Structure formats: structure tokens, C-alpha cells
Structure 1
Amino acid sequence: MIKQFSKEVINKLKYYVYIYSDPETDEIFYVGKGIGNRVFSHLTDTDDTEKSRFISRILDRGQEPKIEMLIHGLEDEHTSLKVEAAIIDLIGKEKLTNRVRGWQSGIFGRVEVNQLISHYEREKVYIDEPAILIRINRLFRYDMTDIELYDATRGVWKIGENREKAKYALAVFDGIVHEVYEVIAWFQAGSTFNTRGSLDEDKKRWEFVGKKAEESIRSKYIRKSVEHYHSRSAQNPIKYVNIIEN
């Protein structure tokens, strides 16, 4: 296998997106982006990762991974990052050895059309009920199941006693409301079952148990913008609305 491009080829390729697959099954196990000879770097990677172990198993069979270019000739890295994110979302990260989803895939990855419209139109809405806005930017992705979105929203949070005054909790990503829950009760972090896995109990952090709000409330807020409630410099993922804080 050729493991290095000539200077002439590198100049023609520019930025690119590539895939690694198993030569026996054609199963794609890694998606990457790069420039120059980046595509070959994984063959000599000594880090103990799922990707390197997959490659080692192929080499141990006396074979080499199949390497293909999906697209090349891209003029800038941002474009290659977006293409990489789209491909990872299309295949599904659970089927790949990539450790993370693609760059900003929460925004630029696979997304249903109506959600994309709400992201860019950003129709502003004002909240009338006592509520907590919970930003889940780190965990959010557009293809989350209902239970994944619920568990990402409900905990675990460093939040004070004013939490008890909130009737609703709104799941917010990039300023847009994606779900509204009626809060039933709050519990110490890690004390209720969570699909995210085992979360250590922490007396300073809390999680709520709830249910989807009534349809009249959900239709009022879902896919609407609440970014005006947060200052651009705000770091706290929690924001009280219509709640008098002690």
C-alpha cells in the first residue's frame, strides 16, 4: 500500500474527507478529514484507541485496511469539518471507532428540516410560567431519542432550593427550546435511573423527575428562541424565569 502522497498529489488534493473500512466486509469503521499525508497517519498510530485496535486486528490477519477518499479538492478546513460531521451522522457514530461526533455536528450535522428552520428563523418567545431553562449544548444532538433528551435535560445540576418553585423545565440547545417537561420532583444527583449510565451521587447536585408538559405548553415553546434570556457571557446552564429567587 502507498503510504505517502507526492508533493504534486498533495497540492491537487487540498483538504479532503476519507474513510477506513475492513477489506473483508467493506464495513466502514472510521471517518476522518485532513490535508497532506494525514490519511496515512492512523497506520502507525500507537495510541490505545478502538480505531488503532481495529487496524491492528486487520494487520494481524495479513491484510491492510481499505482507505478511500470521499471528497477532495476542498479549499478550507471548515468545509472538510462539516462534510466529516455529515458523514459521521449519516453512518452513525455507534457504528464507527471515531471517539467523538463531527465538528459542530449539533448544528451542522444531520437535522430534520423543521428543526433547521427553527434554528435559523429563531422566532422569539416569552415565557409566562415559572420555569427553568436548561442548556444542554454539550450533550445535545438532533437525532436524540425522547429518553436521551429527557435524561440529558433533567440532571445532574448544581442548583439551589429555588428549583422547587419551577413548574416546567425547558430543554434548550443553542438558544432554541427542544422540549418542555413538567417537573414532578427533585432528587439528589445519581439517585434515580438514568440512561446516560451510572452518575455518582453528589449532595450538591440535583436531578428532576418529570413528564412531557401538556400539548398547549409544548406547542407554545418548542422550536422557539429563548436566547434573549441569556447574556452572551453567561456560563451557568441554568436560568430561572418568573421565579423570585431567595
Structure 2
Amino acid sequence: MNGFSTLASEQLGWYVYLLRDPRDDSVFYIGKGKGNRAFAHEASATASEDHPALQSAKAKRIADIAAGGQRVQVDVLRHGMASEPQAYEVESAAIDLANVVSPGTLLNVVLGHHHVQRGLMPAQEIEVLYAAKPAPKLEVPVMLVSLNSRWDPSLSHQELEEATCFWWHARGPRRDQCQYVFGVHNGVVRTVYRPLNWRPRVEGDSGWEEDVGKNYVRWGFEAAPAPEMAQYLRTSVRRFIRPTQWSFLYVDPEV
């Protein structure tokens, strides 16, 4: 089958689909779309054969299947959805489940639109996310940095430290007055460090090319453990955060 008929496409709505390898019946990709999106992967894999370096693992898998004289099996997991956000939710849940049942088998590069915000996490994390207690009164100036685009329950201590320490547009005396830096995800404190040796990002650092040609650079710091501030971990600092997009902010001691 090369695609849905016009009549089927018009009534299908948004749907979530699985790409299955006919050689072992395994699901190797989960996606969402409308119309004939589910069948577009075979065409793009064929087009990329002239540029092997640009081929993704998914495209190579499809090419291997075709080389054996077979076709990718397309299954529709859920259909008739009225909106893309609804399809995103189903896609994300399906990806999370597949990664639990058969770790390492999916070739998706992106884990789903809502993976970080509402993806797979332990029950304890759900409790923290929705019922975190307010953080204790702040006695010293601190800096909050947003981990919203970086945080995941599976991150290692080293990965969390790197996400908290690097790289921010923070500079000047206000930054240097902050005695601690809190890494915050969805208003909840996930990391606490004492900043040492703030320095600008230079050539060789991760993402340094982003600063080339600009009249500013991002800054990062060497982190020291802060066990004396452990009472702030997994507590809510939402009272300091306005409902706008932010990357970092300074918080003065509370009177």
C-alpha cells in the first residue's frame, strides 16, 4: 500500500501511526500526522540514498527493508483526532510506553512534543510536580535558572550540574551578589549549587559559536555542592516567577 485514498484521507483526521519492520514485526518508529504522512518516510528514505551521510537511522532501516524486497508495515494506533495537540499527547504516551517495553528499539530522534512536561516519570515525581511545598523563606540573594527545556527525571548528577551551570546571559554585580543558584523546572527547585569562578563562554565551550559576532557572551560557573541548602530541593519557588518566558532571574532575600 502506497498511501490512503483521497476519501480515506479526508475522513481520517489527525492520527498516530507505527512503522513496523516486516522482517521481525518490531515497531521502530512512532509518529503523528494527517493525510499520507505515515507513508512519506519511505519516499524520503529513498531520496536520501544519494546522500548517505544525511541518512538517519530510521532512513537506513527503511532502506535495508527495501533492499530485501519488502515494504515497511504501517499501522495506525489511533485516528479520528480533531487536533494536532491531541495527536501529540497520544504520540508522546506511545513513545514513552514503547521505550519502557522495548528499550532502545525506537529510532525516533524526538521523544514527543510533551515528553518533558508530561512524559514518563516516577509517581514520586508526579507528586513533586503537582504538590511541591513552598520553598522556605530566602535568607540570602539567589539566582534562579530555568531547566524547563533541559530537565528530565533520568538526567545524571553531572548532566544536571551542566544544565544548571552553563550558559546564561547573566553578568555584572547583581549576579555576583547571588550566593546560590537554583535550577528550576516547572517552578520546582531541582538543583542547588554555590557558584564559584563565573567566567564567559569562550571558543571550545559547548555552543560557543552562538556568541560569535554578538556584543555579549553567555556566562557559566564552576559549581560547589550546597548541602546546607538541601531543604530547598523539590520545593516550589513559583511565588517568584511571573507567567512569562524566562531563562534566569534574581531573587533578593525575603523580609
> Under TM normalisation by the shorter chain, which class is it?
0.7 to 0.9
1:229 counterpart letter in structure 2: F
Q: Equivalent pairs: percent with the same residue? A: 30
SS of structure 2 residue aligned to 1:114: helix
Q: Please report the TM-score for the alignment, with normalisation by the length of structure 2.
A: 0.77
Query: Within the alignment, does 1:156 sit opposite 2:167 as a pair?
Result: yes
Letter in 2 for 1:118: V
Which secondary structure state, in structure 2, belongs to the residue aligned with residue 204 of structure 1?
Answer: coil
Which residue of structure 2 lines up, in the alignment, with residue 118 of structure 1? 128
**Residues of 1 paired with 2:239 and 2:193: CA distance?**
20
**Structure 1 counterpart of 2:31:** 32
- Paired with 1:27 and 1:169, the residues of 2 have a C-alpha distance of 45
1:179-224 residue CA offsets vs partner (Å, 9 max, x unmatched): 212223323325898xxxx44386722211214421x522x22222
SS in 2 for 1:29: strand
- The answer on 1:175 being equivalent to 2:187 is yes
Deviation at 1:154, TM superposition (A): 0.8
Which of residues 175, 186, 189 is equivalent to 2:201? 189
Structure 1 equivalent of residue 148 of structure 2: 137
Give the drift of 1:42.
1.5
Q: Does 1:222 align with 2:221?
A: no
Contact 2:194 2:225 in 1 (8 A): yes
Q: Is the 8 A contact 1:134 1:170 kept in 2?
A: yes
Q: Please identify, of 102-111 and 18-27, the stretch whose mean Cα deviation from structure 2 is larger.
A: 18-27
Q: Is the 8 A contact 1:132 1:166 kept in 2?
A: yes
**Gap runs ≥5 in structure 1:** none
- Give the whole-Å Cα distance in 2 for the aligned partners of 1:19 and 1:205: 41
Q: Distance in 2 between matches of 1:232 and 1:15?
A: 31
Q: Distance in 1 between matches of 2:195 and 2:104?
A: 31
Separation (CA, whole Å) in 1 of partners of 2:109 and 2:202: 25
Is 1:200 equivalent to 2:205 in the alignment? no
Partners of 1:57 and 1:104 in 2: CA distance:
31
Measure the CA separation in 2 of the matches of 1:187 and 1:95: 41
Distance in 1, matches of 2:122 and 2:20, equals 28
User: Is the CA contact 1:190–1:199 (under 8 Å) kept in the aligned structure 2?
Assistant: no
What amino acid maps onto 1:170 in structure 2? Answer: F
Which is worse superposed, 86-95 or 74-83?
Answer: 86-95
Q: Over aligned residues, Cα RMSD in angstroms?
A: 3.0
Instruction: Output aligned runs, 1:98-113, within 5 Å.
Output: 98-113=108-123
When residues 34 and 199 of structure 1 are mapped into structure 2, their CA distance, relative to the original with a 3 A threshold, is closer
**How far apart are the structure 2 equivalents of 1:49 and 1:124?**
48
The 8 Å contact of residues 82 and 109 in structure 1, kept in 2 or not, is answered as: no
1:64-83 alignment, distance < 5 Å: 64-83=71-90
Secondary structure of 1:128's match?
coil
Q: Which runs of 5+ in 2 are unaligned?
A: 49-53
Q: Could you tell which deviates more after superposition, 201-210 or 163-172? A: 201-210
What SS does structure 1 have at the residue aligned with 2:91?
Answer: helix
Please state how far the C-alpha of 1:73 moved relative to its aligned partner.
Answer: 4.4
Tell me, yes or no, if the aligned pair for 1:159 and 1:205 is still in contact at 8 Å: yes
Instruction: Report the Cα distance in structure 2 between the residues aligned to 1:117 and 1:10, rounded to whole angstroms.
Output: 41
> In 1, Cα distance between the equivalents of 2:223 and 2:146?
17
Amino acid at match of 2:237: V
Provide the TM-score with structure 1 as the length reference: 0.79
